[in-house]
Amino acid sequence: MQRDPALPNSEARVSRGGPRLAQRLRAFALALGFAACAGPSFTNETSGGSGAASGRSGAGGDAGKGATGGTGLGAAAGGSGLGAGGSSGDGAASGGDTSAGGSAAGEVGAGGASDTCQCGPSQYCRAGTCFDCSDVSKLDFGGAEEVLDYPDGALRFPRAGGADGSLFFTLVTTSVSELWYAPAVVSSPGGVLDDGRVPRAALDYFGDPGGLGFDVLFDETASGGARAIRAATFDGHALGAAFDAPPPFAPSGADDYSSTLARETKRVYFMTTLSGAPELVTGVLDDAATKTVDLKVPARGGGTCSRRGADATPWVTADGRLLLFSAPLVDTACNTVDGDATDVFVALLNPTTGLPLATAVPIAGINHSADTSSETDASFTADLCAVYFASDGGEAQGHDFRLYRARRR
């Protein structure tokens, strides 16, 4: 049973419950110790796993050799090509598991990425060599750590703040949808940022790149039921007064939600129902014009399909070159194969036009091996060395969305 909770009905009485919720969330989180606790078991299918077992490649099919090297971008070796001229690799590049065995955590074998390195800040270790996290030509992640859970609701949209270890997220229960902020999530889940009067979700923090007058965007559900994109300042502790975000976000009467902004280009992405069905669009701040972003995802069995579903949960890098998003799995006829279950994908973008340059690929090491599991809401840390995401673990786990972090390798 997939549980992807929508925002509370706008006519329902929203009870903030601030101190009580904070106390319960904090007590539960501290009891877990913020470690890789009981919960879904993640595997790195394209870089780790058990011996020669094949994993999901960027082309949507089995890699066939059990040794693909993560998600390759452009001309990078191994994995799946993503970028102009990119194509699926054959698994012979570094980063694969050629050992006979391997653990459920997806540890790699000889020639893999588990070698010890003495790397500096903003670097990660692959096969005994340190690489700068700013180089995203190859994306591969180690086992996911559970960061935060809440027993009576869902935790969604983890987004790194301006300080190391800080995290914004959304708490969704049957009665509330609230924005939360943790200055240091490893030691405390922080507290609620909302005033509790209206449901809010999906805060995107980018830091004011100069002259905007705001540094966060988020969804807010009005009394009439429509969702709109709102803006505010964040002083490191609290949100300032919210106001309508500038064009292309101007309230339209349709549902506008799940926004993200590329700080260096001022280009935004968001979901809208203005044309009827939900679609992802892009535009530039202070310009009302938008265009549809047709994200192509690989289909099982071959071919590609346009991404579908109510929410792509987009997140874009500061330079506007990479877009993380979620999408249902599809077959060659572009029909969903696992109900509402979603995987996390990455698309290489043209930062000028905002449109994808090639078919997106699933991110190695993040998506759960169980097909009924939904992975969504992915975003990078500021240094690009790790990714946060939400997962419900699938039917077998029997819990709602929790927050996870996986580090580059």
User: Measuring CA to CA, which residue among 176, 254, 252, 168 is closest to residue 215?
Assistant: 168
- Using 50, 70 and 90 to split pLDDT, how confident is the model at 210? confident
pLDDT at 68: 37
Q: Enumerate the β-bridge partners of residue 80.
A: 88
The values of phi and psi at residue 238, to 5°, are -145, 160
Most confident of 11-20, 82-91, 286-295: 286-295
Neighbours of 121 (CB within 10 A): 8
Q: Which residue has the higher pLDDT, 274 or 106?
A: 274
Segment 87-103, tens digit of pLDDT: 333 333 333 333 333 33
List, for residues 328-386, the tens digit of each pLDDT value: 999 999 999 888 899 999 999 999 999 999 999 999 788 886 668 899 999 999 999 99
Give the pLDDT band of residue 19 (cuts 50, 70, 90).
Answer: very low
The pLDDT of residue 368 is: 80
User: What amino acid occupies position 112?
Assistant: G
CA 72-77-79 angle, to 5 degrees, is: 40
What's residue 37's pLDDT?
37
Residue % of the chain over a pLDDT of 70: 70
Q: Between these two residues, 118 and 260, which has the higher pLDDT value?
A: 260
Give the mean model confidence (pLDDT) for residues 81-85. 43
Residue 396 — pLDDT band, cuts 50, 70, 90?
low
pLDDT in the model for residue 394: 77
Of 106 and 175, which is predicted with more confidence?
175
**Per-residue pLDDT averaged across 118-133, rounded?**
93
pLDDT of residue 71: 60
Q: Is a pLDDT exceeding 80 seen at residue 289?
A: yes
Average pLDDT of the chain is: 76
Span 261-277, average pLDDT: 95
Higher pLDDT, 59 or 187: 187
Q: What average pLDDT does the segment 243-247 reach?
A: 94
**The pLDDT value given to residue 380:** 97
pLDDT class of 207 with cuts at 50, 70, 90: confident
Share of the chain above pLDDT 90, in %: 53
For the chain, the three-class secondary structure string (H helix, E strand, C coil) is: CCCCCCCCCCCCCCCCCHHHHHHHHHHHHHHHCCCCCCCCCCCCCCCCCCCCCCCECCCCCECCCCCCCCEECCCCCCCECCCCCCCECCCCCCCCCCCCCCCCCCCCCCCCCCCCCCCCCCEEEECCEEEECCCCCEEEECCCEEEECCCCCEEEEEEECCCCCCEEEEEECCCCEEEEEECCCCCCCCEECCCCCCCEEEEEECCCCCCCCCCEEEEEECCCCCEEEEEECECCCCECCCEECCCCCCCCCCCEEEEEEECCCCEEEEEECCCCCCEEEEEECCCCCCEECCCEEECECCCEEECCCCCCCCEECCCCCEEEEEEECEECCCCECCCCCEEEEEEEECCCCCCECCCCEECECCCCCCCCCCEEEEEECCCCCEEEEEECCCCCCCCCCEEEEEEEC
What pLDDT band is residue 10 in, cutting at 50, 70 and 90?
very low
**pTM flag (> 0.85):** no
More confident residue, 86 or 291: 291
Residue 50: the pLDDT is 29
Q: Decide if pLDDT at 230 tops 80.
A: yes
Find the mean pLDDT for residues 62-67.
Answer: 31
| 18-37+143-407 is classed CATH 2.120.10.30 | yes
Q: Examine the pLDDT at 163 and tell me if it is beyond 70.
A: yes
d(Cα 204, Cα 364) in Å, to the nearest integer?
Answer: 24
Across 77-85, average pLDDT: 40
Under the banding of pLDDT at 50, 70 and 90, the label for residue 70 is low
Give residues with Cβ within 8 angstroms of 152, minimum separation 6.
24, 173
Identify the pLDDT of residue 77: 31
Looking at the predicted structure, is the pLDDT value of residue 20 above 50?
no
What mean pLDDT do residues 307-312 have?
Answer: 94
The 10s digit of each residue's pLDDT in 141-153 is: 988 899 999 988 8
